[in-house]
Structure 1
């Protein structure tokens, strides 16, 4: 179905892996320490963003004087243990399996690189991908095209020959800005 593309790029959280509940639980624990809650409807538009951007949004919403990077770090310190216990691959993994050794594939995620590596290893998918680009690998995050352009570069495939699989508006915008076709996995 995707044979016309020379490279396949996948978002991780919400596209390849069901990690949402773990991220939500980690945010709830961290924010509770400061008397705050995560408004799920309000942050849904930030899906695909690095944690510090979500922290910045929450801090602005509550108008408190906290460092978004420190808050994101606190969340990061607990999220891995929570997510590892509950992570499950999502149906798009069948596309990954069917293109193994047929096309170069990469993961372009708003999660940190090391976290993505560990999660993919945990579910047995790490070896399917020739490249992983995390939030700490680029300066400009989704909706900027940098994540997906770096994936294409690492796979040695022209951006116009890539297709991106995404579940978030920012990621879909980033794919378009990179000159790549995109598949919204929410509609598959």
Structure 2
């Protein structure tokens, strides 16, 4: 089904790995410390965004005077403390295993590189990917195409010959903006 593409790019959170419950709990814990609230549906709409951008939205909603980068670091630390014990691969990992060695593959994620690398290594999945491009590797995040363009560059594949697997609207927009095909895994 994907033989027409020379490179496969996968989002991580919610696409390859079931990290959403852990991220949600980490946000609940961190926001609870400050008495901040945030609507779950609004947070889902920001899926694919870097953590500091979500923190900034929470701060604006609550009219709080906190540093979004500090709040994002606290949330990232909370996630790191929980993730290795809780996260499991999602069924799409079978596509990765099927195409391993047949096409170059990479991960393009809105997570920080330390988290992405730790999770993929812990689950024994890192060796499948020639590159992992994370939020701290690009200046412009999804829905900008930068993450996926850097994945294509690191794989040595023209963007037009790549397919991106995504579970978030921002990610689908980023793939299309990069001139790549997109598979919305929510529809699989």
Q: Do Structure 1 and Structure 2 share a fold, with TM-score over 0.5?
A: yes
How far the C-alpha of 1:115 sits from its partner, in A, is 1.0
Aligned to 2:91: 91
8 Å contact kept, 1:27–1:38: no
- Counterpart CA distance in 1 for 2:29 and 2:81 is 13
Aligned to 2:14: 14
1:161 aligns with 2:176: no
TM-score by length of 2: 0.98
RMSD: 0.7
Q: Deviations over 1:87-112 (max 9, x none)?
A: 01001101000000000000000001
What runs of 5+ residues in structure 1 fail to find an aligned partner?
Answer: none
8 Å contact kept, 2:9–2:108: yes
What runs of 5+ residues in structure 2 fail to find an aligned partner?
Answer: none
How far the C-alpha of 1:42 sits from its partner, in A, is 1.4
Moved over 4 A (4+): none
Name the SS of the counterpart of 2:25 in structure 1: helix
How far the C-alpha of 1:37 sits from its partner, in A, is 2.6
8 Å contact kept, 1:166–1:182: yes
- Counterpart CA distance in 1 for 2:43 and 2:76 is 17
- Counterpart CA distance in 2 for 1:107 and 1:86 is 20
